[in-house]
Structure 1
């Protein structure tokens, strides 16, 4: 070989030719690569299987907890419903008892009033004898300018005899600027005369309904009761216009 002057020649090494060695190394590398790939796949499958088992176990645990939580929520919800129902029952029972107490008190008050009334009839004091104007009640009906009335005229005596007489029942009020007196017979269909007839031994009740005119504003009720006989008596009494709710 000719040597060119001035250029550097690489060093040559002579090695023996072994083609099977190269093939063997190639196969070995392929085997190692395949083994590495399979190992990675196997490891991944094992990890994935283990993870799936953990996920399934966690899912089953959560299902059990969900069922338990649902049962507990249903139980607590039922307890709340029971408590509300019990509270409603207790409240209604309390309202019922309170209503019964109020009714009993009202009945007792009415009985006491009746006792006082009959006691006064049978055992009057010395300055409360003879013809007397008792209680007067004016009660709202709920309808505009419509009222119910109840008046008691009584005879206070230790020995009662039949009493005859008459009663004038007048409602005094204003119509505009003018003071007006309306007899009961003008505003009540239950009375047909200005002089209401009295005839009783112990007491007499005058009651009915009043219908006031639209432009009339009541202020008071004036009553005049007269008895006839050997010793006639005239009794007068005035009541302010006070309406009770029904």
Structure 2
């Protein structure tokens, strides 16, 4: 009887195991898909973050473009004002009274601040009094006088332009003209950079013309007329 009982238990055990396996598969199939739902929600949140980032990036680009356009507009207006100043200096020189000594005039050392500290745009205006047809030829020596701490310091303009687009190759600036000359030419500006800690006080422009005595003019920094 015991042996017969054991023989009957074997198929019963197989049947019970198969039933539990089938039941387990059905329970897994009927379970709610929680994990995929979480993945969809996370993907939607990620898409929303991507959209917000795209909007912020676009706004930043628009702001940068607006700032650059404003800077270019201001530069254009400055150049137009400067051109008018050039024309005024020219007519003043041509229409000067005949009693004044004829020859070279250092009309102005124009100076304009930029949007970068220690960087300045400059321009030198030369004119001639009289009706001579022979060009005036010579050289300019431009020095910036100021203080570095407690010490009086004199810096050559050429040294302050090194490494910049309009760097002067030498300390002396050559000129040759009949009635009027701007350095640099046309409506352009040249740029200089002051050393850190240097406080400018005045600018000295010395002109040497062939056959004439040297001409020296001093301009206060920030008041170049």
TM-score if structure 1 supplies the norm length? 0.50
Residue 141 (structure 2) pairs with residue 164 (structure 1): no
Q: By how many angstroms is 1:157 displaced?
A: 1.2
Tell me which of 214, 221, 228 is aligned to 2:196.
214
Contact 2:90–2:127 (Cα < 8 Å) also in 1: no
CA distance in 1, matches of 2:205, 2:86: 22
Structure possessing the higher relative contact order (Cα contacts under 8 Å, 6 or more residues apart): 2
Q: 1:67-99: CA deviations, max 9, x gaps?
A: xxxxxxxxxxxxxxxxxxxxxxxxxxxxxxxxx
CA distance in 1, matches of 2:86, 2:122: 18
Q: By how many angstroms is 1:117 displaced?
A: 2.7
Contact 1:166–1:196 (Cα < 8 Å) also in 2: yes
Residue 153 (structure 2) pairs with residue 180 (structure 1): yes
Residue 99 (structure 2) pairs with residue 117 (structure 1): no
Q: By how many angstroms is 1:121 displaced?
A: 3.3
1:38 alignment partner in structure 2:
none
1:62 alignment partner in structure 2:
none
Q: By how many angstroms is 1:233 displaced?
A: 2.9
Residue 216 (structure 2) pairs with residue 239 (structure 1): no
2:28 alignment partner in structure 1:
none
Q: By how many angstroms is 1:145 displaced?
A: 0.3
SS in 2 for 1:133: strand
Residues 154/118 of structure 1: CA separation in 2 closer, same or farther (3 Å cut): closer
SS in 2 for 1:119: helix
Tell me which of 167, 174, 182 is aligned to 1:197.
174
1:137 alignment partner in structure 2:
110
CA distance in 1, matches of 2:88, 2:95: 10
1:150 alignment partner in structure 2:
123
Contact 2:121–2:191 (Cα < 8 Å) also in 1: yes
Alignment of 1:49-88 (within 5 A): none
Residues 144/168 of structure 1: CA separation in 2 closer, same or farther (3 Å cut): same
CA distance in 2, matches of 1:108, 1:238: 23
2:20 alignment partner in structure 1:
none
Contact 1:165–1:227 (Cα < 8 Å) also in 2: yes
TM-score if structure 2 supplies the norm length? 0.54
Q: By how many angstroms is 1:109 displaced?
A: 10
Structure 2 gaps of 5+ residues are 1-76, 185-189
Residues 122/140 of structure 1: CA separation in 2 closer, same or farther (3 Å cut): same
1:71 alignment partner in structure 2:
none
SS in 2 for 1:117: helix
Q: By how many angstroms is 1:110 displaced?
A: 6.5
CA distance in 2, matches of 1:109, 1:216: 27
